[in-house]
A = this chain, B = another copy of it.
């Protein structure tokens, strides 16, 4: 048994950032309402399934995000999956707050939740819990209902600080 302590030559934030630049993530946009019922939203690379029985979702958000104060238990949110055609939408919801919601581009769903029909699919989910960790938070949501507009061939992924599509299918895993 060889113990190679010197192999791990990067530390702390450098270690984290180097490794996560090599890790691809799916891109989603997440929308909800502020305390006056107005639309809020952001682009997220942390949306993950947390089991299907019961159907739960998790996502990470910085406590410093402008939307964070509105994300609390009971709040309904819309999680949108995106494909390559939705790149402008991903950029828009990652841009300045004032330009995220443009009249005519989005619809209003249950509990005033804004949503974008351009997305490949949209999941309505309700916040059940959140865990604050340092300056970030893990949010757990319960999936309630959804609509699929299309089964995307080229979902949007984030990798090496840029937006990409998914490429070659290597292997089924049915």
Binding site for B on A (CB under 8 A): 1-5, 7-26, 28, 45-58, 60, 62, 79, 81, 83-84, 87, 91, 94, 107-110, 120-124, 128-129, 131, 133-136, 138, 140, 143-148, 151-152, 154-174
Contacts and interface: CB of A to CB of B under 8 A. Distances in A.
Secondary structure dominating the interface of A? strand
Given A51-B62, A159-B166, 16 more contacts: A2-B107, A4-B107, A9-B145, A11-B146, A12-B143, A15-B144, A18-B148, A23-B155, A24-B26, A50-B60, A129-B133, A131-B138, A154-B167, A156-B170, A164-B166, A165-B166
Contacts of A2: 107-108
A65 B168 CA distance: 30
A74 to B, nearest CB: 16
A165 B167 contact: yes
Q: Which of A53, A108, A133, A158 has the largest number of chain B CB atoms within 10 A? A: A133
